[in-house]
Amino acid sequence: MTVVLGPNRYGKAETRVVRVTRDGEVHHLKDCNVGVSLSGAMEDVHRSGSNAAVLPTDSQKNTVYAFAKKYGIGQIEEFALLLARHFVESQPTIHHARVVVEEYSWERRGPHSFARSGTETRTCAVHHDRDGTSTVVSGLRDLVVLNSTGSEFHGFVQDEYTTLPPATDRVLATAVTARWRHVPAAGQAQPDFGKSYDEVRRCLLEAFAGTHSLSLQQTLFAMGARVLAEREEICEVRLELPNKHHFLVDLSPFGLDNDNEVYFAADRPYGLIEGTVLNDDAPDAGPAWD
């Protein structure tokens, strides 16, 4: 028996970069959190501590800042691709790079004044390999939505531990985490990530609002399928939907009815529905979801 090194990666997490661009009096703002994970010829550093193959995580952080200056921060997927390719192409010991970016949204309050807006965070994860292939996953998290009717849950399995009554009208609420995989672009061509994001977000919201739901799984599938139906640049959608339970309060001890009017918003435990919706001809995902 021998001890071997298995999958490994290292990098700098959560580099917080804010990029201001001036257009005369009018400023533009990009506010991001960047994480880099590199892997490659790292056997020695684990075995002996030799850092001869190691690009310091501090240098990775510096690169994020320098690239923000040199190239600006356009769509986060593009910025992540720039960084990932740079690390792999410039360092022979780095065979693979994963770059994740979160973006926080701001709304304009003046020519150079801004207020944070929205509750959701836009995300992306990009992989680049030294064979030249890249994968791009875009996403969002913390998009909190609620339907106050149009949701049912009944006809489920009854086992000896089942006490839940069937529901024909309930609140359905969740905090959407969604990630979607782009069909690989031909050559250096890339989709319009900004427009794609806006459209996917719209699809998710519309499918959530528009689906009469018999189970959160059905809503999940409808959300993913809507994205695939409308956006040909997307081939796979993964969703994580916590069921943020809103329990009807029993007001009968106080002589009051409660016709779906007063709810207790519970924290824990919560249902958690996770699922994938994809095109049957989606190309191999490679490391895209890692």
Q: Which is nearer to a copy of itself, 188 or 226 (CB)?
A: 226
Applying the rule CB under 8 A, the residues between 235 and 274 that interact with a copy of itself are: 236, 238, 242-243, 246, 249, 251, 253-254, 256, 258, 260-274
Q: Which is nearer to a copy of itself, 161 or 188 (CB)?
A: 161
Q: Which is nearer to a copy of itself, 124 or 228 (CB)?
A: 228
**Annotated active-site residue in 27, 57, 93, 276:** 57
Residue 76 Cβ vs a copy of itself, minimum distance, rounded to whole Å: 16
**Annotated active-site residue in 86, 96, 182, 245:** 245
Q: Which is nearer to a copy of itself, 47 or 195 (CB)?
A: 47
Amino acid letter for position 196: S
Cβ–Cβ < 8 Å for 148, 64: no
Active site residue 245: yes
Cβ–Cβ < 8 Å for 134, 81: yes
Applying the rule CB under 8 A, the residues between 48 and 107 that interact with a copy of itself are: 48-59, 61-63, 65-66, 68-70, 90-91, 93, 106
Nearest Cα residue to 200 out of 182, 188, 185: 182
14 vs 102: CA distance, rounded Å: 9
CB-based contacts of 222, cutoff 8 Å, min separation 6? 207, 211
**Could you say whether residue 121 binds a copy of itself (CB under 8 A)?**
no
Residue 237 has a CB neighbour count (10 Å cut-off) of 27
Nearest Cα residue to 38 out of 55, 51, 52: 55
For a copy of itself, the binding residue among 71, 144, 198, 283 (CB under 8 A) is 144
Residue 155 Cβ vs a copy of itself, minimum distance, rounded to whole Å: 5
Cβ–Cβ < 8 Å for 94, 38: yes
**Could you say whether residue 47 binds a copy of itself (CB under 8 A)?**
yes
Q: Is 76 exposed, middle or buried (0-12, 13-18, 19+ CB in 10 A)?
A: buried
Residue 200 Cβ vs a copy of itself, minimum distance, rounded to whole Å: 15
What is the full DSSP assignment across 174-222?
EEEEEEEEEPPPSTT----HHHHHHHHHHHHHHHHHH--BSSHHHHHHH
Active site residue 123: no
**Could you say whether residue 41 binds a copy of itself (CB under 8 A)?**
no
Applying the rule CB under 8 A, the residues between 213 and 242 that interact with a copy of itself are: 213-218, 220-221, 224-225, 228-229, 236, 238, 242
Residue 193 Cβ vs a copy of itself, minimum distance, rounded to whole Å: 21
Active site residue 12: yes
Cβ–Cβ < 8 Å for 279, 228: yes
Q: Say how many residues touch a copy of itself, by CB under 8 A.
A: 134
The label of the residue with tokens 């900004």 reads: 194
Residue 232 Cβ vs a copy of itself, minimum distance, rounded to whole Å: 9
Q: Is 136 exposed, middle or buried (0-12, 13-18, 19+ CB in 10 A)?
A: buried
**Could you say whether residue 180 binds a copy of itself (CB under 8 A)?**
no
202 vs 153: CA distance, rounded Å: 26
For a copy of itself, the binding residue among 24, 132, 155, 187 (CB under 8 A) is 155
Q: Which is nearer to a copy of itself, 66 or 185 (CB)?
A: 66
What residues are labeled active site? 12, 57, 245
